[in-house]
Amino acid sequence: MKSTGPKHPVDPQADDAVDARLLDDAIASIAPSLSDMLMRQWERDRKSKAEAKPLPARATLRSLVQALPTPWLAALAKILGARNGRRSERGIAVAQALKDTPYLHRTVVDTFGADERHLLDSVLFRGGIEKASTSMRRYGSDEADGWFWVERPPRSIMGRVRLHGLAFVGTQVISGRRHRMLVIPEELREPLRTILAATRDALWQ
């Protein structure tokens, strides 16, 4: 008769340890993607809430800049080199720096591409303000743009224009309905018209 040899007793603790390791490995593989998904949702919620605020009665640079969320103001201040001081002081410095004609010219001509210039042209043609949905139909959605603009600058056409302080987003009531609007500050409209016209003339030469 053939011997089957001694039977090894089952160790339930060893099985539990294997199951625990397998569970840890599964969680480790899921956790990063879940964390990223939750973070992206949190950023979208914060962005939507910030953009739902009503635009000021007059779209002046100072009022629009001061209404920016801190991460967006920090990104704009970094671009303009106005990062010192308290938030209110930084906002004033940013609003003043945005009026600088060489900065506007450099941004529109050298930094922006044709799409950003066309977007500015379109908004200016409508008096300096238009529905954000209209801009997105023409130039793409800004939905993928996040909350932390210093670490991850916006990549959409509308987002890039906003990142450089040439347009802002807020809401306005039209015919009894609240709409998300894209607005160019009052002080920048004429300088931008001049720069864009000169850019068009240069391209046609």
Task: Give the mean model confidence (pLDDT) for residues 83-110.
Answer: 90
**pTM (2 decimals)?**
0.79
Q: Residue 153 in 3-state DSSP?
A: coil
Task: Give the mean model confidence (pLDDT) for residues 164-184.
Answer: 94
Dist. CA 104–CA 111, nearest whole Å: 10
23 confidence band (pLDDT: 50, 70, 90): low
201 confidence band (pLDDT: 50, 70, 90): low
Q: What is the pLDDT of residue 204?
A: 46
pLDDT (tens digit per residue) in 47-82:
999 999 999 989 999 999 999 999 999 999 999 988
Phi/psi at 67 (nearest 5 deg)? Answer: -85, -5
Contact of 193 with 136, CB cutoff 8 Å? no
Contact of 71 with 148, CB cutoff 8 Å? yes
Task: Give the mean model confidence (pLDDT) for residues 171-188.
Answer: 94
Residue corresponding to tokens 């739902």: 52
DSSP annotation string for 22-73: HHHHHHHHHHHHHHHHHHHHHHHHHHHHHHTSBPPSS--HHHHHHTS-HHHH
Dist. CA 123–CA 179, nearest whole Å: 15
Give Cα separations from 111 to 70, 108, 163 (angstroms).
24, 6, 12
End-to-end Cα, the chain, rounded Å:
103
Task: Give the mean model confidence (pLDDT) for residues 131-153.
Answer: 92
Q: What is the pLDDT of residue 87?
A: 83
99 confidence band (pLDDT: 50, 70, 90): very high
